Amino acid sequence: MTAQRQIFPDTLVKKSAPALLALSMLIGAALVCGHVLAATPAAAKATDTHVDTDSIISTINATERTRPFPVGEKLAYFVNIKDGDQVRSPFRVAFAVTGMGVSPVAAGDIHGTGHHHILIDMPMPADIKAPIPFDKPNEYQHQHYKHFGNGETETLLDLPAGKHTLRLLFADHNHVPYYISSKEITVTVLDKTH
């Protein structure tokens, strides 16, 4: 009886050693498989050309966006789009002004401040001393004069497919332009199915 009792644990150890080895091999294989499985989606993503990350296809690089302006120069400029860009509606347009402050119309006459406007498919107003017009309801197929009287510095534009001209024009609380504007740029709005 005593001899059998001593043999039993010894046999168990001998049997369990290969079992442990086999178990560790299985874990190792699982880790390798796990690694391969994890790598596969990443590799597929890297070659997927259909990922749509932005509605704007722009070639503006970070250096151009952040270029310094001479002190005192007054100009309005588009931050995230430039002449020749292709966009999909609706597209975000960000803008800024140098040498002036942005204030809402409701704040009244504050020296050295004003608010932004975008002229869409419209020339620079002939009478620069006249207030920038407001679109009348249903006057046009799409908006032509956008006022940012709350002091906004970005917007979403939803324009029909085709070429459109955009120009920033900075104006006072009466919507009378300062002689501060951006260059006119032309963007192409791609068809929604494009």
- 146 is a site residue for Cu ion (CB under 5 A): no
Instruction: Calculate the CA 31 to chain-centre distance.
Output: 39
Nearer to Cu ion, 167 or 175 (CB): 175
**Residues 168 and 153 sit within 8 Å (Cβ to Cβ):** no
Nearer to Cu ion, 99 or 151 (CB): 151
Q: Which parts of 97-116 interact with Cu ion (CB under 5 A)?
A: none
Q: How do beta strands 91-98 and 101-102 pair?
A: unpaired
- 167 is a site residue for Cu ion (CB under 5 A): no
| List of residues 6+ apart from 58 with CB closer than 8 A | 80, 81, 82, 85
- 164 is a site residue for Cu ion (CB under 5 A): no
Q: For residues 191 and 194, what is the distance between their CA atoms, to the nearest angstrom? A: 5
Binding part of the chain for Cu ion, among 119-127, 138-146, 172-180, 186-194 by CB under 5 A, reads: 172-180
Closest CA to 117 of 101, 128, 129, 133: 133
Q: Which parts of 57-76 interact with Cu ion (CB under 5 A)?
A: none
- 175 is a site residue for Cu ion (CB under 5 A): yes
- 147 is a site residue for Cu ion (CB under 5 A): yes
Residue ranges that bind Cu ion, judged by CB under 5 A: 147, 175
